[in-house]
Amino acid sequence: MKILMVCLGNICRSPLAEGVMRQLVAEAGLDWQVASAGTGNWHVSQPADKRSIAVARDFGYDISKQRAQQFNQEMFESFDHILVMDRNNLRDVLRISDHPEYRRKVMLFLPDELEVTDPYFDDQLFEPVFMQIEERCRQLIEEIKAKSEL
């Protein structure tokens, strides 16, 4: 199983989701690969935002070695699930390919058409966003495991 988390710059939300999911998957003994990317190219090769690194560390996750990359066409081939943090990034990802098989892999990270708020401009949002991401990662592991057992 290969899972890709996507946000705008790949420095706040998607690195948190990658780091949390990667650790939870390892703790569950699952042989899954997890990565993240951004739809924009502003931060390619840069580490996650220092506030994301700090909040992850506060809760026992290390995302300090992750580096930003930009989402591209080849990622449709490489990943089974492409989980996007908000509707704008969902639109940008879907714009890259109109192939039905690829489009079926893409969905919002949160259920019920909800979005993960971008905490970039508000330091106070990093912890609530982290908590939301961690809870959803736990749910996703169970959901994906259940689907793959069918």
Task: Judge whether 118 counts as a catalytic residue.
Answer: yes
Provide φ and ψ at 11, rounded to 5°: -130, -15
State how far the Cα of 85 lies from the Cα of 148, in Å rounded to an integer.
Answer: 23
CA 28 to the chain's CA centroid: 18
**Catalytic residue among 13, 22, 51, 136, which?**
13
Please give the span between the terminal C-alpha atoms of the chain, in angstroms, as a whole number.
14
Active site (annotated) includes residue 98: no
Catalytic-labelled residue, pool 12, 22, 118, 137? 118
Residue 32, by phi and psi: left (phi above 0), alpha (psi -120 to 50) or beta? beta
Instruction: Let me know the angle formed at the C-alpha of 39 by 36 and 45, rounded to the nearest 5 degrees.
Output: 60
SS3 helix, strand, coil % of the chain, rounded to 5? Answer: 45, 15, 40
Known active-site residue 95:
no
> Which residue numbers are catalytic?
7, 13, 118
